[in-house]
Amino acid sequence: MLRTERGNAEVDLSVALDSDGSASAAEPASDPLVEPVPGAPAAIARIGDERALVVADYHAGIEAGLRYERGVELESNAAVRRVRLLGLLDRVDPDRLVVLGDLGHRIGGSAEAESDELDELLEAVLDRVPAILVRGNHDVGVPARFESMDEDRLRITDSGGIRLERVGFVHGHTWPAREVLESDVICVGHEHPAVRLEDSVGGGRKERAWLRGPLRPGPFAEHLELDVADLDWRDPEIVVFPAFNDRSGGTWVNVDGQGFLSPFLPAALLEDETEAFLLDGTRLGPYRSV
């Protein structure tokens, strides 16, 4: 549940959005479809009677990628990433894990260090829960590496994503499949959203952030070559996930000149109603005005 503080009172921020974009208490605050895990770049999605832990942009082997791509030398953080994710699985105790793309990092194949990290990670995760990987642009070599694995343990979708009950999941580097659009909440990765925060003397820092808000159907209908009326449009909320990997950079959503990466963002956003939240739940308001 996203919360902020007003004075000394804690205020619940779990609200539904009416068709006109206004906030209402249409769904009980204790039972949201997608609820961020406090203090973590992860959320719990309610999928029928199941609960899924959802993360985005794990980028296993990123250190090897940065060495190859940019000549940057960093010690591997693979063990720390793995422990963080396994700790969340133990803490949340979900029925499954959903990864919103970019489980790996190297586009076009996996380096040895990345392959080793993926093998160790999936062995540990799948000993606990089954997993779904929504394919991202960095996952080119991942399906072939794990193609022999039972789909009941590891399911890999195409890049258009998947809908599970009322929740849609897509990485975001391509347009979502129609079934994903016809969800009540759409979870998206790829952007690695972050905000730049400045103090009173001009110092700044970057913080990973969530983006949440309503979507406009027009861009999606145009892409699908449909009339808006032909979509089973449910006025979905979009939830753009922060990157799980804290070394993977990001889109500074409140800095002029920083563009989105997804083909449907920001065109499909109602920008004045799309808000940014820090990982600790602090509500920053409309992301452009932070």
Beta bridge partners of 47: 50
pLDDT of residue 140: 83
Of the two residues 150 and 238, the one the predictor is more confident about is 238
Average pLDDT, the chain: 86
Burial per residue of 5-31, b for 16 or more beta-carbon CB atoms within 10 angstroms, e otherwise? eeeeeeeebbbbbeeeeeeeeeeeeee
pLDDT of residue 176: 98
Domains of the chain: 30-289 (3.60.21)
| pLDDT tens track for 262-282 | 999 999 999 899 999 999 999
Which alpha helices (H) appear in 77-229, and where do they start and end? 78-92, 112-126, 142-145, 178-181, 218-224
The sign one gets for the Cα dihedral 82, 122, 188, 5 is: negative
Q: How far apart are the C-alpha atoms of 251 and 116, rounded to whole Å? A: 29
Q: Where are the beta strands (DSSP E) in the chain?
A: 3-6, 9-12, 16-17, 23-24, 34-36, 43-47, 50-55, 96-99, 131-134, 154-157, 162-164, 167-170, 185-188, 193-198, 204-214, 237-240, 251-252, 275-278, 283-286
| pLDDT tens track for 71-108 | 666 778 889 999 999 999 999 999 999 999 999 877 55
Position 24 confidence tier, pLDDT thresholds 50, 70, 90 = very low
266 cis-preceded (ω within 30 degrees of 0): yes
The values of phi and psi at residue 274, to 5°, are -95, 115
Position 251 confidence tier, pLDDT thresholds 50, 70, 90 = confident
Q: How far apart are the C-alpha atoms of 58 and 139, rounded to whole Å? A: 11
Contact (Cβ atoms closer than 8 angstroms) between residue 100 and residue 54: yes
Q: How far apart are the C-alpha atoms of 276 and 240, rounded to whole Å? A: 10
Of the two residues 168 and 117, the one the predictor is more confident about is 168
Average pLDDT over residues 134-143: 89
pLDDT at 27 over 90: no
Contact (Cβ atoms closer than 8 angstroms) between residue 161 and residue 54: no
Task: Provide the 8-state DSSP code for 175.
Answer: P
Q: How far apart are the C-alpha atoms of 154 and 152, rounded to whole Å? A: 6
pTM (2 decimals)?
0.85
pLDDT of residue 71: 66
What percent of the chain has a predicted confidence (pLDDT) above 70?
83
